[in-house]
Amino acid sequence: MKIANMGVVAGIGLLAVACASGPEPTERLSSAQASIRAAKEVGAANVPQAQLHAQLAEEQVTQATKLIEDGENERAEFLLRRASADAELALALAREATQAKQTQAAEAIVNPQAGAPSPSLQATNQ
């Protein structure tokens, strides 16, 4: 019975150590932030889907920052990977929208009457 108790205590201790383990993911943090900035620069705010993913990325960065403050670096690292993935998707979506506009403009010059059929924008739900 004492052994069982000790096991529980040890387990909790190990868990705490595991969570706190690892260095602060500063590189990942700045990389995720850079990706978010890039997405905004490309005009993510004007593309609803891009805006959504940029927002998700920002929320995850905020959360990760808190985790780093609490010393939970490993968990923070994973959250930052999610954040980067969302920010990069936001960037890609914003670029796609810009390119689509440019293409439609170019096609309008060649063929002013016919409304060019648009290749459906990629639907990305979370």
Partner 1 sequence: MKFIFDTNLVGKGLLAAAAFSMVACATAQPPKELVDAREAYEKSEHGKAREYNPAALHDAKSALDKAEASFEEDPESENTRDEAYVALRQAQRAEVEASTLAWQARAEKAKSEATQAQAKAMERAQTDLASARKQLETEKAAREAAEAKAKDMLAKLAAANAAAVKEEPRGTVITLAGGVLFASNKSQLLPGAQTSLAQIAEAIKSQDDKKVLIEGHTDSRGSDATNQALSKARADSVASFLISNGVPQDRVTTAGLGPSRPVADNATPEGRANNRRVEIVIQQLEAK
21 binds partner 1 (CB under 8 A): no
User: Among residues 99, 112, 113, 115, which is the contact residue for partner 1, using CB under 8 A?
Assistant: 99
Distance between CA atoms of residues 45 and 55, nearest Å: 9
The string over 49-77, giving b where at least 16 C-beta atoms fall within 10 Å of a residue's C-beta and e elsewhere, is bbbbbbebbbebbebbeebbeeebbbbbb
Angle at 27 between CA 80 and CA 69, to 5 degrees: 65
Site size with partner 1, rule: CB under 8 A: 29
Residue 101 CB, nearest approach to partner 1 (Å): 9
26 binds partner 1 (CB under 8 A): no
Answer yes or no: are the C-beta atoms of 60 and 82 closer than 8 Å: yes
109 binds partner 1 (CB under 8 A): yes
Between 71 and 78, whose beta carbon lies closer to partner 1? 78
107 binds partner 1 (CB under 8 A): yes
Residue 64 CB, nearest approach to partner 1 (Å): 12
User: Among residues 17, 23, 114, 126, which is the contact residue for partner 1, using CB under 8 A?
Assistant: 126
The dihedral formed by the CA atoms of 76, 80, 83 and 88, expressed in degrees to the nearest 10: 180
Half-sphere exposure of 8 (CA within 13 A, CB side): 4
| Contact pattern from residue 50 through residue 89 relative to partner 1, giving x for each residue in contact according to CB under 8 A and a dash for the rest | ---x---------------------x--xx-xx--xx-xx
